[in-house]
Amino acid sequence: MTFIWPWMLLTLIGLPVLVVWYRRLVRRRAARRDELAALGLVSPGLSSSAGSSSGGSSSGRRVVPLRHLAPALFLTALGLLFVGLARPMATISQPHQEGTVVLAFDVSGSMAATDLAPNRLEAAKVAARAFVQRQPSSIQLAVVAFGANGLILQRPTQDKAAVLAAIDRLTPLGGTTVNFGIQAALSAIIGKAVPLPDPSASPSANGSGGGSGSVEAQGQNLGYHGSAAVILLTDGEDTSNGDPTVAAQLASGAGVKVYPIGLGSPDGTTVTIDGFQVATKLDEALLRQIATTTDGTYFAAADAKQLAAVYASIHPTWTVQASKVEVTALFAAGAALLLLIGAGVSLARTGRVI
């Protein structure tokens, strides 16, 4: 326990002075009762029992400790008030949600498909807005758009209005490269550009026995971000020529969980792009592999209702944080309680508070 005004603890010096004064007062009263008893003005039993009405020596032995109970309670209450004057602070562990959540939207042309009303991207945006509104102020939110490239639209912030504005700007265009989506999300979390491993690099240049070793090494260099998560919204197959799980391995090395949300149906559908019918099919196997690699969870959202339920099931990390809290009020409440008890004891014994 620490104190904001520790010098106020000097007031505790007054407690021993009060104890000495009280003991002298008790002795003077006892001496005076003995004098009155010698003159026959009070009964000897009253003198020996310190005010007990029973007059018996055995009863006196039972009651004598009660003489000091009320003063002791008053003195303890005063000590608590003196400590409260120093404004004590205690370290309290409080659970709360914290971390960074990146909403990574697939903005490829196939997101204009209407199997989710009004289309896949708009349905994803509606559910994302509700997700953003539910988050506590301790959560930082970011928005990433990925298609043929990955782009950070909004860096991590607690400004929900800025996040919602970034979501509103999303429009479907181009192909799909899942690696770039995860890469951009990692860059947003870490605060700097995260390069993907060069697949043409030799094992010796990678510093390990292969391409996956290079991924592990780069993931470790990114630091550990266990309180960060990526919600990856995509509807189609990866149209790039690279390995879509490379960025997922980077995320795993950095402790970042990826939660892929598959939009649409694995049976596939068609969408009209620039007057051409283009087939699009959900690759659930890839999204499950990404989730497994990063210790995340894959969710299927075949319609808007399921999509809303998916967002409701994703919660940021609960952590326990130690923070210093001023507990002056607790000391004041304890002192008030002791004063009330002491007043009750004194009234019950003598008919007066003091």
What pLDDT, on a 0 to 100 scale, did the predictor assign at position 203?
44
**What phi, psi does 28 have (nearest 5°)?**
-65, -40
Cα separation, 98 vs 117, in Å, equals: 33
pLDDT of residue 1: 80
Place 205 in a pLDDT band, splitting at 50, 70 and 90. Answer: very low
- What's residue 273's pLDDT? 64
Taking a C-beta distance cutoff of 8 angstroms, is the pair 97, 318 a contact?
yes
Nearest to 284 by CA among 249, 246, 230, 236: 236
Residue 335 and residue 82: Cα distance in Å, rounded? Answer: 10
What does the pLDDT read at residue 41?
67
Of 283, 192, 195, nearest in space to 239 by CA: 283
**Tell me: the pLDDT tens digits for 71-88?**
888 889 889 988 889 888
pLDDT band, very low/low/confident/very high, at 208 (cuts 50, 70, 90):
very low
Segment 88-144, tens digit of pLDDT? 888 877 665 668 899 999 998 888 887 777 888 898 898 889 889 888 888 899 999
Q: Where are the beta strands (DSSP E) in the chain?
A: 2-3, 88-97, 99-106, 139-146, 150-157, 228-234, 257-263, 269-273, 276-280, 299-301, 318-326
Mapped onto helix, strand or coil, the DSSP state of residue 60 is helix
pLDDT score of 342? 83
Higher per-residue confidence, 277 vs 335: 335
Distance of CA 335 to the CA centre of its chain: 32
Q: Which of 50, 80, 71, 74 is nearest to 62 (CA)?
A: 50
3-class secondary structure per residue, 238-300: CCCCCCCCHHHHHHHHCCCEEEEEEECCCCCEEEEECCEEEEECCCHHHHHHHHHHCCCCCEE
Domains and CATH numbers, the chain: 2-92+325-350 (no CATH), 99-316 (3.40.50.410)
